[in-house]
C-alpha cells in the first residue's frame, strides 16, 4: 500500500532552485533512502514535503490529496521529521524533551514506554538535562522524541552524522524494528552504504534532480553507482 506520493516537488531559495521537480513514493512499512552529496537537495526535499520551506508539489497520503495542508496538519496526520543536528532542548531533561514530541499527536504514556524499550539508556537518563548527554544519546533522544508523535511516516535527516559506528548500528537497528511495525521511513543519509543495507529502495539526488532510483540491494551491487556515489 502506498503511504505517501510526492509529485513534482520544487523548492526554491530566492533565485536558487534547490529541488527541481522530483517525484517519488513511499509504501507502508518500507525504508526509502534519499542519497547524494552535500548540496544535492536532500534536506530541502524533506523540508519541502512538510512545507517548512516554500515549496510546490502534489502530495498524496493514503491516496488522499493533502497538497494544500499546512505543516501542523501534516504532522497531525503522522508525517514526522527527525531533523539534522537533533534540535533538542538542552535545558530540559530527557523525559521533558520526549513529552514535547507528543504535544500535537501521540499517546504520551504508551509512547514513553515504547521509546524507553527501544533506547534503555534514555530511561536511565530520564531526569538528566539533555544538553549534558553524549552525542549518541542526544541522537537517540531526537529519534525518540519523533517516535512520541506516533509517526505513520518517519523522516530522518542524517541520523548517523558525527556518531561512533556502534551508536549508528544501534540507531539503524531501531529503524529496522520500526519497519517491522509497519512504520514507513524516509531516510536522508550521508553514509550511503549503511543506508542502502537497511533500505528497500533508494533515490540518488544530484543538483536537485533524481539521477538514479531503484532497489537498494541492486544499487549496492552496481559498480557504476558504487564508483560514482558510494565512494567504492
Q: Which contacts (CB < 8 Å, 24+ apart) does range 108-115 have? A: 108/148, 111/147, 111/148, 111/150, 112/148, 114/147, 115/144, 115/147, 115/148
Residue 232: per-residue pLDDT: 57
| Gap between the Cα atoms of 96 and 25, Å rounded | 34
Handedness of CA 69, 72, 77, 80 (dihedral sign): positive
Residue 226: per-residue pLDDT: 83
- Specify burial of residue 146 (Cβ count, 10 A radius: 0-12, 13-18, 19+): buried
| Gap between the Cα atoms of 2 and 109, Å rounded | 30
Residue 78: per-residue pLDDT: 97
Among 208, 182, 172, 210, which residue's Cα sits nearest to residue 26? 182
pLDDT tens readout for residues 213-225: 999 999 999 988 8
Q: What is the pLDDT along the chain (232 residues), one digit of tens a residue?
A: 899 999 999 999 999 999 999 999 999 999 999 999 999 999 999 999 999 999 999 999 999 999 999 999 999 999 999 998 888 999 999 999 999 999 889 889 999 999 999 999 999 999 999 999 999 999 999 999 999 999 999 999 999 988 999 999 999 999 999 999 999 999 999 899 999 999 999 999 999 999 999 999 999 999 888 888 876 5
Per DSSP, the residues of 167-218 read HHHHHHHHHHHHHHTT-EEEEE-S-HHHHHHH-SEEEEEETTEEEEEEEHHH
Helix (H) or strand (E) holding 42: helix 42-49
User: Cβ(3)–Cβ(24) under 8 Å?
Assistant: no
Q: What is the DSSP letter of 93?
A: B
Amino acid at each position: 500500500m502506498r503511504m505517501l506520493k510526492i509529485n513534482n516537488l520544487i523548492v526554491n531559495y530566492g533565485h536558487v532552485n534547490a529541488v527541481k521537480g522530483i517525484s517519488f513514493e513511499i509504501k507502508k512499512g518500507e525504508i526509502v533512502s534519499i542519497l547524494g552529496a552535500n548540496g544535492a537537495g536532500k534536506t530541502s526535499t524533506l523540508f519541502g514535503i512538510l512545507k517548512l520551506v516554500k515549496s510546490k508539489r502534489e502530495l498524496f497520503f493514503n491516496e488522499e490529496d493533502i497538497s494544500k495542508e499546512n505543516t501542523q496538519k501534516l504532522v497531525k496526520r503522522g508525517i514526522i521529521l527527525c531533523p539534522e543536528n537533533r534540535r533538542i532542548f538542552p535545558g530540559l531533561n530527557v523525559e521533558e524533551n520526549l513529552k514535547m514530541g507528543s504535544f500535537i499527536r501521540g499517546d504520551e504514556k504508551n509512547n514513553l514506554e515504547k521509546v524507553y524499550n527501544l533506547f534503555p539508556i534514555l530511561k536511565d537518563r530520564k531526569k538528566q538535562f539533555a544538553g549534558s548527554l553524549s552525542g549518541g544519546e542526544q541522537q537517540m533522544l531526537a529519534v525518540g522524541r519523533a517516535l512520541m508523535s506516533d509517526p505513520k511516516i518517519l523522516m530522518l535527516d542524517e541520523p548517523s552524522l558525527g556518531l561512533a559506528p556502534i551508536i549508528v548500528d544501534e540507531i539503524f537497528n531501531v529503524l529496522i524494528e520500526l519497519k517491522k511495525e509497519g512504520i514507513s521511513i524516509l531516510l536522508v543519509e550521508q553514509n550511503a552504504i549503511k543506508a542502502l543495507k537497511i533500505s528497500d529502495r533508494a533515490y540518488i539526488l544530484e543538483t536537485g534532480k533524481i539521477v538514479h532510483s531503484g532497489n537498494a540491494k541492486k544499487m549496492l551491487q552496481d559498480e557504476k553507482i558504487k564508483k560514482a556515489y558510494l565512494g567504492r
